[in-house]
Structure 1
């Protein structure tokens, strides 16, 4: 099991993250970026799983400037609250916060090897935006909604990227994927997979859209990709 750690303090407010360490005590670094429901039990469980796979995982509290340690359920009430937090998010400021999180993660002596970023939904979008950071060796994006809003940043991408897209995703339809991927692949090494018939959020077992087969296949591809680059 992981634990919460302080990344940075501003006045009385603390920017923190959930840190999970592999059984052998060291490994490559992995910044794990949340969905709009915050660093909730699902995201913490993912951090623990990837730590068990050998990575030093840090899941930063992206909404900390609005409310510390947001952890919402996948219910109607939780989703309404999640969208309020998402609507108030300043992406420029968040990018600065995540740069600080990368710096914090890289400072741990137990981080041995490269550092990658991986995110889901909102986090999948944020992970791609970090692809211009030279401290990162790889980025994995699961169904990153809103990627089309950042086409101007594509020329700045530096590291290899892996994308997982749902074939029936209402937040990032295949038409948007088809428009974005050639631009990204013209800039940097990028691989993408489309999971036919799946809906947004297929990796999360707490959501109705969960697909065990697609989630298992995507994780296998993710671990292979990370093993080559970190």
Structure 2
């Protein structure tokens, strides 16, 4: 059973983080939130990776703007999440995922993120040297930083019908990063991996999770 811990980033910022998984796990995973905080869904995501044997830490990235944020998936929640995300500096986000990585000492680490967190996972590959594998699920900001050089293997997942990530963006990422493993799920929408959203697609989520776990096993072994 997971619980909240507290971390201190390199710039002195203190933040909460959800920790889960066996204490003797040989591999660790930083799980990065959507724009809805480390909410019930993200804790369930952490539990799934913990059940697969990973030591997991999910940093509360919104703590730089407002502490204790846990949102749902209504239009009002989406608007509030976007507002909070705009208040969190990118450099602070990177410092916070590095703090989460430091909380999993002595283990080979991966990073996986969803929505905003998918972009942050990409930054974990390109703006840090802490991770041996990075996976992003429907990260809308990846295209804007697609020319950054990753320092570890990367796997990305996108929905074909994602209204916020056009396929032209996916094609641009693929062209800029031919070494990155990219999957597009036919008919899938944004957030297809979240079972609390209307866009949830269990078949696509299950395939993407299986691919994620296989990728982590391959690169963290």
Query: In 2, distance between residues paired with 1:63 and 1:2?
Result: 19
- The partner residue of 1:136 within 131, 153, 159 is 131
TM-score, normalised to structure 1's length?
A: 0.89
Aligned-residue offset at 1:80: 2.1
Aligned-residue offset at 1:58: 0.5
Aligned to 1:208: 198
Q: Which runs of 4+ in 1 moved over 6 A?
A: none
Query: In 2, distance between residues paired with 1:84 and 1:4?
Result: 24
Tell me the SS of whatever aligns to 1:117: strand
Does residue 34 of structure 1 match 2:33? yes
Query: In 2, distance between residues paired with 1:69 and 1:33?
Result: 15
Query: In 1, distance between residues paired with 2:90 and 2:206?
Result: 31
1:9-48 equivalence runs, <5 A: 14-22=14-22, 25-48=24-47
Does residue 221 of structure 1 match 2:211? yes
Tell me the SS of whatever aligns to 1:26: coil
Gaps spanning 5+ residues in structure 2: where?
none
TM-score, normalised to structure 2's length?
A: 0.93
Gaps spanning 5+ residues in structure 1: where?
none
- Root-mean-square deviation (Å): 1.9
Note if contact 2:36-2:77 (Cα within 8 Å) is conserved in structure 1. Answer: yes
Aligned to 2:100: 101
